[in-house]
Amino acid sequence: MTKRYITDQLHDFYQISLLYRGILHDEITEYQHIQVVQTDYFGRVLLLDGVIQLTEFDNAAYHEMIAHVPMLAHDNPAEILIVGGGDGGTLQQVLRHPGVEHVVVVELDKRVVEICSRFFPGFGNPFADPRVELVTEDAFPYLKRNKRKFDVILADTTDPISEADKLFSEEFYQLMVAALGPGGVITTQCEQMYFNTSLIKNMFDIAKKLVERPAYYHTLVPTYPGGGIGFLYLSDSPWQNGLGKPYPHGVKYINSAIHEAAFALPEFLKAALLGEQEDG
């Protein structure tokens, strides 16, 4: 029997292939191609335009790190904005913090929400929570007209291609910072340190102009290109404020050692972002 593989080739020099059993959903919407495939090892897998977004097997490493690091760094995160995040995984983690009063999720494609609510029940149907407000539109015009101040903003975006490219612009980062309340924290999906070093440096340079305490951190996700992905932390408050606080019940990846170690940078990235390199 011929084995079937779903292949993600985000980069022209690198590809990932996952053995799969069948395609559970395949739909081209107004905005993108959405697929859900069933695998034996990784469970169900979500792909957008052929790029792996999450798997049941390893999504906690991404969702917990993008959510809990900034949520714990804030003294009282009550008003939250999630840009993207239509799969519900980041939202599920945010709602585990008992002080959360209101979460706005700005997702361009409502079909992502509907499809993931059906095929990824492990996220617990977070959009049904009365604290959640789903806004289906482009995040750029939303933030341009927004008057609300948020304690934490999470940019849970796809990679900087096509429509998502503008979410990695200085203007968009300025809009997010302008929407922060006192002590506010932003965390953005910020790509893979080996494959996207120049992009990360560009975004870090933008962050340095906007906040006092920018930082880059990373997590291990074996089904993402290169086996991991990083985040940009933007705030006038240090990320270390989150250390020593209890993590929500039910986490599978983050703990105090992982939390702290995630901000340790390899020498090549430290040199690129900070102009520093330890004597060898």
- Per the annotation, the verdict on 156 as an active-site residue is yes
Query: From the candidates 109, 151, 156, 159, which is the catalytic residue?
Result: 156
Q: Which two tokens stand for residue 89?
A: 């995984």
- Calculate the CA 89 to chain-centre distance: 9
Phi/psi at 78 (5° precision):
-110, -40
Q: Which sign, positive or negative, has the C-alpha torsion 215, 138, 123, 225? A: negative
Q: Which two tokens stand for residue 168?
A: 């990695």
CA nearest to 67, candidates 261, 217, 272: 217
Q: What share of the chain is helix, strand, coil (3-state, %, to 5)?
A: 35, 30, 35
Segments of 74-176 assigned E as strands: 79-84, 102-106, 132-135, 150-156
Write out the H or E segment, with its range, that includes residue 234. Answer: strand 228-235
Q: What is the largest CA-CA distance in the chain?
A: 60
Contact 185, 179 (CB under 8 A): no
10 Å CB burial of residue 263 (0-12, 13-18, 19+) is: middle
Write out the H or E segment, with its range, that includes residue 62. Answer: helix 59-73
CA nearest to 63, candidates 221, 212, 222: 221
| Active site residue ranges | 156
